[in-house]
Structure 1
Amino acid sequence: MAMGVMLVAVVVVAGLLLHAATVAEAQTLRVGYYDQTCNRAESIVFEEVQKAWNADRSMPAALLRLHFHDCFVNGCDGSVLLESGDNQAEKNAPPNQSLRGFEVIDRAKARIEAVCKETVSCADILAYAARDSVRVATGGYEYKVPGGRPDGTVSRASMANSDLPPHKQRNVELLAQYFYRKGLSMDDVVVLSGAHTLGVTRCGTFDYRLMSDQDKGMNATFRNELRRQCGYDANRVVSLDAGSPYGFDTSYYANVLANRTVLESDAALNSPRTVARVRELRAAAPSAFFGSFAVAMGRMGAIRGANPGKVRANCRRVRT
């Protein structure tokens, strides 16, 4: 990590600690939650994320998305990890069927259970894994994440269908309604969308935007590039951040401004309501973007679980 980034990181961490303390007071979350009961928990999670990243550079994006999809349904309670039982679970909802990274959480959980039985929640493991995804993708940027999230006991596909922000949404005000319901802000919409600086998506997710030349929210040259990349094959994949699929950087915001985004929900940010913030993030030093992202993740990660239960011994099943 460059010295400038390191110094900014220290300042941002101090701010995050203050924010985390405020959140903790309301939601019983605190930094260092497992220091006394399972002091290896966070290091084990990082080791598993790093191993996954070494094997697959797209894994940080998958783990960030997994945490996001967890928090927006029932709060940050690990319910997205549960398998279907008497009803269809969240992971079976159409917006979640492309989620990945479950095995990384399983491996971390198994190792933690071997040293600290039924102590560390799956919800916290998922939150730590999302943080560590940023760490490996940036080459070392770190921020504190409080723990203390109880595991949830309810997982319903119907709730995922209604609560997750749709990618087919060009109106940023309507998109923001999904965030407002969770206590988040318009700024959080812009900053958290920056997670799309990582990862890829299937052409079938957005190919309807390539059918004609009438989508004014997509650069015409870029549209033709995507047509060549996709080749009428819905299963091919393209980068969410054109030209930089594995770098956690501000190029995503440059692409928003240039109308070079594949998802309508990303194109929505190039609107009068949000374009000034997009320009600010594009022009900012990488460390400033990292800091804003860390704070927004802290707010999202503090969304209270709606159906708290006990720590699950297996992240895929409710503890009985």
Structure 2
Amino acid sequence: MASKNLLALVVLLSVLGVSVAYPKLIPTLDYYQSKCPDAERIVRRVTEQYVSRKPSLAASLLRMHFHDCFVRGCDGSVLLKTPKNDAERNAIPNLTLRGFEVVDAAKTALEKKCPNLVSCADVLALVARDAVAVIKGPWWPVPLGRRDGRISKLTDALQNLPSPFADIKTLKKNFADKGLNAKDLVVLSGGHTIGISSCALVNTRIYNFTGKGDFDPSMNPSYVRALKKKCSPTDFKSVLEMDPGSAKKFDPHYFTAVAQKKGLFISDSTLLDDLETKLYVQTANEVTFNKDFSDSMVKLGKVQILTGKNGEIRKRCAFPN
């Protein structure tokens, strides 16, 4: 009855020439319940099949979702390919993204069951959540109803993705621009508790930080020595754990490492340069971190989403319809 009354009011105002602001559609937990009730189950099954065989995909898929949401919002644009290879996935920060095949497999399974209904943006959001759950990380509710963007630009990725070389002031602005606060920044940085990087991103930091053959003074000297054993001055390919000693387990150990000045990236170490983020680093525990991470992931998943008649539901995640 309430919805009929609202519709009648809208029609009346329109007839009278009054400008009408339609209610903004927002994702809901039961968005596909009537249209495709098995949607989440299908995505979870596919994700478990891949991640159980290759647990390292959990970090990759979580990172992919993050990179998607920070560029044009959570619209699946990171999944798109373009004829000139100038899409987001072709930007240098995204060249190491892995796990596209998981999203594609989940989307294919959904198309067989519920064609033209579930967006690639929603699939990616679900895959990221389920991948973390497979490795016994925190679970969070994923509101659904996003639509897919049609545009993907390499330059957008370069301009919007937070840099591993950024200081705390820059990072706080990066996050604020997306409606995320300092707590979200430090909590989501905790996602570095899983995954790997390479010597390429830390080589200068440990060998020639100011151009004088020195290392970054914000780093623990013992950690620098350990990194030098793994990365020679000309090594840009060897693999490094982002959370030394605990990179396969989703836990708050990352914060312990950062507190000991063993953050791999400048963007990790600089969390100690702000009172709010530093306090979180120093006090994080498994209970609070899991809850906070879940809350921040829900916020991240709503960044600049497309709903209603905006965007589309792609048939294939790599190409607009």
Tell whether the structures are fold-level matches, with TM greater than 0.5: yes
Which residues of structure 1 form unaligned runs of 5+?
A: 1-24
More moved, 234-243 vs 304-313: 304-313
Alignment correspondent of 2:43: 45
User: Structure 2 CA distance, aligned partners of 1:149 and 1:246?
Assistant: 31
User: Structure 2 CA distance, aligned partners of 1:118 and 1:104?
Assistant: 19
Alignment correspondent of 1:229: 230
- Of 245, 251, 254, 1:252 maps to 254
* Residues 74 and 305, structure 2, Cα contact 8 Å, conserved in 1: yes
User: Structure 2 CA distance, aligned partners of 1:45 and 1:266?
Assistant: 32
User: Structure 1 CA distance, aligned partners of 2:173 and 2:139?
Assistant: 30
Number of aligned positions between the proteins: 290
More moved, 63-72 vs 270-279: 270-279
Alignment correspondent of 1:267: 269
User: Structure 1 CA distance, aligned partners of 2:25 and 2:250?
Assistant: 30
Asked if 1:119 is matched to 2:117, the reply is yes
Label 1:154 to 1:236 Cα distance change in 2 as closer, same or farther (>3 A). Answer: same
| AA at the equivalent of 2:263 | T
Could you list the per-position Cα deviations for residues 262-298 of structure 1 after superposition, in whole angstroms to 9, with x for gaps in the alignment? Answer: 11101111124321111121xx2x1321110010011
User: Structure 2 CA distance, aligned partners of 1:82 and 1:68?
Assistant: 15
* Residues 44 and 112, structure 1, Cα contact 8 Å, conserved in 2: yes
Shift of 1:85: 2.8
Identical pairs, percent: 38
Shift of 1:213: 3.7
* Residues 27 and 304, structure 1, Cα contact 8 Å, conserved in 2: no
Q: Report SS of the residue matched to 1:238.
A: strand
User: Structure 2 CA distance, aligned partners of 1:279 and 1:44?
Assistant: 39
User: Structure 1 CA distance, aligned partners of 2:43 and 2:230?
Assistant: 35
Shift of 1:27: 4.6
CA RMSD of aligned residues (A): 1.6
User: Structure 2 CA distance, aligned partners of 1:67 and 1:239?
Assistant: 20
- Of 128, 150, 153, 1:153 maps to 150
Alignment correspondent of 2:18: none
Shift of 1:33: 1.4
Asked if 1:168 is matched to 2:165, the reply is yes
* Residues 197 and 252, structure 1, Cα contact 8 Å, conserved in 2: yes
* Residues 206 and 215, structure 2, Cα contact 8 Å, conserved in 1: no
| AA at the equivalent of 2:195 | G
User: Structure 1 CA distance, aligned partners of 2:217 and 2:303?
Assistant: 36
Larger radius of gyration: 2
Shift of 1:50: 1.5
Asked if 1:189 is matched to 2:185, the reply is yes
- TM-score for the superposition, normalised by structure 2: 0.87
User: Structure 2 CA distance, aligned partners of 1:135 and 1:215?
Assistant: 35
- Of 140, 144, 166, 1:143 maps to 140
Runs of 4+ residues over 4 Å off in structure 1: none
Label 1:175 to 1:27 Cα distance change in 2 as closer, same or farther (>3 A). Answer: farther
Could you list the per-position Cα deviations for residues 29-75 of structure 1 after superposition, in whole angstroms to 9, with x for gaps in the alignment? Answer: 00121111111111121122212222212111000000000000000
Could you list the per-position Cα deviations for residues 237-271 of structure 1 after superposition, in whole angstroms to 9, with x for gaps in the alignment? Answer: 01000101110000000011001121110111112
* Residues 140 and 297, structure 2, Cα contact 8 Å, conserved in 1: no
- Of 32, 37, 43, 2:30 maps to 32
* Residues 52 and 104, structure 1, Cα contact 8 Å, conserved in 2: yes
Which residues of structure 2 form unaligned runs of 5+?
A: 1-22, 208-212
| AA at the equivalent of 1:160 | A
| AA at the equivalent of 1:295 | D
* Residues 58 and 135, structure 2, Cα contact 8 Å, conserved in 1: yes
Asked if 1:106 is matched to 2:109, the reply is no
Label 1:181 to 1:125 Cα distance change in 2 as closer, same or farther (>3 A). Answer: same
- Of 199, 209, 231, 1:203 maps to 199
Label 1:296 to 1:187 Cα distance change in 2 as closer, same or farther (>3 A). Answer: same
